[in-house]
Each structure stands twice: as C-alpha cells, then as structure tokens.
Amino acid sequence: MKLEDVRHRLAKHPEKQYKRRPLTSIKQIAIHHSGTREGDAFSFARYHVHENDWPGIGYHYVILKDGTIQWTNDLEVISYHVQNHNPSAVGICLVGDFRKEIINTNQKDSLRSLCEFLLVKLSLSPLNILGHNELLQGKTECPALNMNELRQYLTQNYVEIYLENKKMDVSGIIKEGITFVALRPFAEQLGYQVFWDGEKRRIYLTKK
C-alpha cells in the first residue's frame, strides 16, 4: 500500500475550518468515485474550496489510477462528502467514473488494503463499509461499484475478538496467518495503558 501524506499541501479556505470529532464517533466508511476520468487530491481540493466554498477537500483519502493512496484529511476531521452522515463517516474517493469505466487492479487492491487498515484502526465491521449511493438510499449512482463484492472480500479476512465469550470493541484482520489488531484499544479493554518510547522504539503496557 503506497501512501502519500498530502494533508498539509492541499488548498484550504482562508477563513473556514472543518469541525473535528473523536475517532470513536466514526461508524461508517463511505466509498466514492470522482465521476471524472482524471484528477487527484490537489485538483479536487481546489474545486471543493474555490467552487464549493468548503473549508477543504471533502475526502479523507483519494486513490489514484496507479493505486497511490493520498491521505487528505485527519480521520478526526468532519469533512463534507455524504450529507447527514458526515459526522460519522470517513470518505474514500477513487479517481474515475465507474459508470463508464471499470476500476483497475491497482485501485481495487489499494481500496481493499485501505479498508482493511481502517477496519482495524476504527474497530469497524465490513458491513460498515458503504457506497455513497447506499448511504443516500439511491439518490446518486456514486461510486458505481459492486459494494457487496468489496464487503465479501473483506469478510474473508475479518475476525471478531471475544474476551471470555464477550465481544470486544476491537476488530482484527488475518493476513497470511498473522492477526492484525489495533494495540491501544485492545490493551485498554484488557485494563492496560499503552506508552510509546520513540527513542528506544519500545511499547510499554502498564496496568491501569
């Protein structure tokens, strides 16, 4: 997964700012297409700011035709991309118009990898990944993709984690026999605090 952090390089409104939220308020991942043949985070940001008069780009991630993932907003940012669901949704936009073209392999692989990362980070289920059209109940064709196919793929590697028969608020992904979970929420639910020592590159767990 090739990730390019462009959060501080994009056009922003000189006066307006998006509101912010805790990560725990995120309940959905919304998938979009740009509806254009070409484009990138920079062109979308300019359009959203200068034409729509928004505080900044409306998406949290943009996936280019070559599969590069552009990180465009902090996940805590409540950006504009899916109307009433903005406070609880992360927005991923794939460059392309999938009413007229087929998503390529690079983009499909990057979308799957990014969704797996977000499922673990945000403790969500594949059922929480929805197309723009699904969230707006058919009022748009966006993203013009088979969302059931994406969810079915993600379900193959997704695991729920239980502690003594009680489901934990943590999601896991199994890849090549290795289970990936977000350490901090996992440890905190077990009653531990997590500390990171950047100099020694060590993670310390201490009982609360």
Q: Domain holding 121: CATH number?
A: 3.40.80.10
Task: Indicate whether 195 belongs to any domain.
Answer: no
Total tally of structural domains belonging to the chain = 1
Evaluate if residue 194 carries a pLDDT over 90: yes
What is the reported pLDDT for 208?
83
Q: Tell me what the mean pLDDT of segment 113-127 comes to.
A: 97
Q: What is the residue range of 47's domain? A: 3-156
What is the reported pLDDT for 138?
80
Contacts 24+ apart (CB under 8 A), 173-182: 173/116, 173/119, 173/120, 175/116, 180/116, 180/120, 181/120, 182/120, 182/121, 182/123
Evaluate if residue 16 carries a pLDDT over 90: yes
Evaluate if residue 1 carries a pLDDT over 90: no
Task: Indicate whether 126 belongs to any domain.
Answer: yes
pLDDT in tens, 22-64: 999 999 999 999 999 999 999 999 999 999 999 999 999 999 9
